[in-house]
Amino acid sequence: MLFVVGTLFWVLALVSVGRLFAVSRAKMRLPAWAWGLLILTALVLLFRPHEDIFGGEDPGSYLNSGVSYGRQGQLFYADPLLAQVPRETRSAFYYGHAGYGTTKDACLWVVNEDAAVLGPHFQPAYPLLISVATRLGKPSWSLYVVPLFTLFTALALMALAANLLAHRLSGLIAFGFYLLNPLILWHGRCARPEIIAGFFAFAGLALLLLAHHGGQVRARSRWPACNAMRSIAGRLDILLGALCIGAAPLFHITAWYLALPAAMAIALVILRGRTDFLPYPLAALAMWLVFYGEIRFITDYYKVRIFFEAVLRYWPFWVLALAGLAVISVTVSRVQQQCNAASPPQDAAAEPKSVGGWLATALALISLLFFMTVYFNRAGIGSFVFVARRIPNFIFLTDWQTFANMVSRPMGLLIMVGWVIWLIGPRSRRDERIVLALTVFPAMALAGT
């Protein structure tokens, strides 16, 4: 069963990155040798075992857990060493550090001392990917899972840039700058799940934006056959996007900072009559239930089960909300069709209306003011007191001063300039760029130290 679940994660990742790569190729029109050179360069930069892997720290814990799952074929199993040791002397074999719980090696935790049963401590999705790789190959393959997903993330960012920016090589520029970032060259090889969660988040956003733009083009197309093909491709993109964004929190809890705003953005899209996005809430709900199953039956390291069960208590409300969302979307869609039938045909090359420059500028200024306020007064602001008290493990305002020290202040200023240009830049697809920026804003604001 574990092998099947891990394989499904791999299939989702490979299908998504394959779809995005095909879109980027069509947009950028680079020769095959150029693509080969890009991939080869990425392999040289990333596919080197990381220098900082120790058993008592996160990277070593993830790697050892993944290899153990692959060997045992299950998340919970009786440790053969502890099972042979009398219960009264087993504590001598536990990890001696006072900051750790009951564990033999700071990788898997003892969940049943009487039966000497070990089980997950951290979220197991990343180790499940490792377990598939090590079962198909060698234990050393576990070192290359994160580097591969770093390459996948670069391809997802390439697709985002290629589709939202007018320049033909914008995707190539995003790909290159991401991989050449010294922080990525370090963390993109480290055995931690943040990179994988980031890939699924950005891949999901790229697929949803692709489907959204395809629906706008489809509405203005005169060819029914093209409309049908685009409709099928668009619905597949929506389904893949929903599954990717829903999978991201399974790899790292902070991906909820992006998954929740994405759900709200999709709800607004549906309310505007985009009935093709109606499968998104169902797929997102399925992934939400998978996450709840994890924290209910496997591990709740971040102590969020109380919030999920509070949501479940109001399930009739959520059923009515989903039904109302569908009814409103279908109604708005039919009204739009009637209005379009009664109005003269529009030029197929015409761009839809976009957010005005003044509003985009206001959003840019407000976000910059927030970043600067946190930069100079993070200690005075503190955390979001009520929420942080309830979920103390991962609600922290971003430490922008530490970030500036890591990337250098000139680079930090350049990033802020890029943020502003992203918001107020060319009118074409400005709406989607702004929605994307607002979706990732909570993740930027709550990245912690």
Which secondary-structure segment (H or E) carries 77?
strand 77-78
**Residue 419: inside a domain, yes or no?**
yes
Which tokens sit at 194?
């943040």
**Residue 436: inside a domain, yes or no?**
yes
17 contacts 152 by C-beta, under 8 angstroms: yes
pLDDT > 70 in the chain, percent? 90
More confident: 160 or 397: 160
Name the average pLDDT for the chain.
88
247 contacts 125 by C-beta, under 8 angstroms: yes
Average pLDDT estimate for 205-211? 95
For 374-422, the pLDDT digits (tens) are 999 887 665 554 455 555 556 778 889 999 998 899 999 999 999 999 9
Average pLDDT estimate for 431-447? 92
Average pLDDT estimate for 200-209? 97
Average pLDDT estimate for 140-153? 96
pLDDT > 90 in the chain, percent? 66
**Residue 296: inside a domain, yes or no?**
no
Average pLDDT estimate for 201-227? 75
Give the lowest-confidence range in 95-109, 165-179, 250-264, 316-330: 95-109
d(CA 263, CA 269): 10
Contacts of residue 99, defined as CB under 8 A and 6 or more positions apart, other chains included, come to none
d(CA 186, CA 168): 29
pLDDT at 219: 47
**Residue 361: inside a domain, yes or no?**
yes
- For the chain, the first-to-last Cα distance in angstroms comes to 37
d(CA 162, CA 160): 6
pLDDT at 226: 57
**Residue 5: inside a domain, yes or no?**
no
299 contacts 253 by C-beta, under 8 angstroms: no
Give the lowest-confidence range in 89-103, 125-139, 210-224, 264-278: 210-224
Q: What's the number of domains the chain is made of?
A: 1
112 DSSP assignment: E
pLDDT at 279: 94
**Residue 371: inside a domain, yes or no?**
yes
Contacts of residue 4, defined as CB under 8 A and 6 or more positions apart, other chains included, come to none
77-78 β-sheet, strand order: 77-78, 117-119, 109-112
**Residue 204: inside a domain, yes or no?**
no
- Angle ∠(207,211,215) on CA atoms, nearest 5: 170
pLDDT at 103: 87
| Residue-number span of the structural domain to which 385 is assigned | 357-445
For 76-108, the pLDDT digits (tens) are 999 988 899 998 888 888 887 777 778 888 889
**Dihedral angle at the C-alpha atoms of 148, 412, 433, 349, nearest 10 degrees?**
-100
Check pLDDT > 70 for residue 171. Answer: yes
Confidence grade of residue 195 (pLDDT, cut at 50, 70, 90): very high
**Residue 425: inside a domain, yes or no?**
yes
Which tokens sit at 32?
């095959």
Check pLDDT > 60 for residue 324. Answer: yes
Which tokens sit at 437?
């920026």
Q: Read out DSSP for 172-198? A: HHHHHHHHH-HHHHHHTTSS-SHHHHH
pLDDT at 106: 80
- Quote the distance between the C-alpha of residue 216 and its chain's center: 25
The one-letter code for the residue type at 184 is I
